[in-house]
Structure 1
């Protein structure tokens, strides 16, 4: 996995310990999905949050939600990623409108459920051209 840039590490270190474990799991899953999909991902900061960018994808961000949940996986609100995820998982996860999946515990990070959504985000523009 890619080493964290200092500015990203600082954001992870600022998170409460119970949220940090979940954020670490989500970060690892994003890089795992990118590798399996053959997609290059860069880790940056956007809007004060760790952000994951792929050349043919849309940005995913990790952070602490304002309302509900201890940590979250954010997607661009103008995509259908969160509604598609909600439909695919039959509402099994809490979401915040069309912008985030909310988690209370690191054990809620389910790779089987999240992998298709992360892969879709990392290949969003490529997928839309087909």
Structure 2
């Protein structure tokens, strides 16, 4: 697990239920790893948005992680962007989706670094 820069973000992860925390931490590592491969995604800011860990790149769209009413945890993107539409077109019927805003997970093993990394990379460079 990568160390935390922001104690408020660390506290938000700690507040998640253990199954959700494990998955959200795995997604966090994937976001950070993906950002390091994209020069336009650095510096990556780690903050709270709506009380959830959020990741913001200089030319990107916000990515949030947290619990979801219909799943253990979720990766959220801006609902008014085309990110989820592009994702579901590229990977039809691969994931449970909440409209235009989230990919839903019940287990960290459902995270696919290639597929979900694709979505993360698109979000981190959305405004390029």
> For the superposition of Structure 1 and Structure 2, which TM-score range results when normalised by the shorter chain?
over 0.9
Q: Where does residue 28 of structure 2 map in the other structure?
A: 27
| Counterpart Cα distance in 1 of 2:127 and 2:3 | 23
SS at match of 1:45: strand
| Counterpart Cα distance in 2 of 1:55 and 1:118 | 14
Structure 1 position 50, deviation (Å): 0.4
Any residues of structure 2 matched to 1:1-130 within 5 Å, and which? 1=2, 3-38=4-39, 39-40=41-42, 41-66=44-69, 68-126=70-128
TM (normalized to structure 1)? 0.92
Structure 1 position 86, deviation (Å): 1.3
Q: Deviations over 1:35-92 (max 9, x none)?
A: 01122111000111000001100100001112x1100000000101112111211121
| Number of residues of Structure 1 aligned to a counterpart in Structure 2 | 125
| Counterpart Cα distance in 1 of 2:118 and 2:35 | 11
Unaligned runs of 5+ in 1: none
Structure 1 position 104, deviation (Å): 0.2
Structure 1 position 4, deviation (Å): 3.7
Structure 1 position 108, deviation (Å): 0.5
Unaligned runs of 5+ in 2: none
The list of structure 1 runs, each at least 4 consecutive aligned residues, that deviate by more than 3 angstroms after superposition, is: none
Structure 1 position 33, deviation (Å): 0.5
Structure 1 position 102, deviation (Å): 0.2
Structure 1 position 2, deviation (Å): 5.4
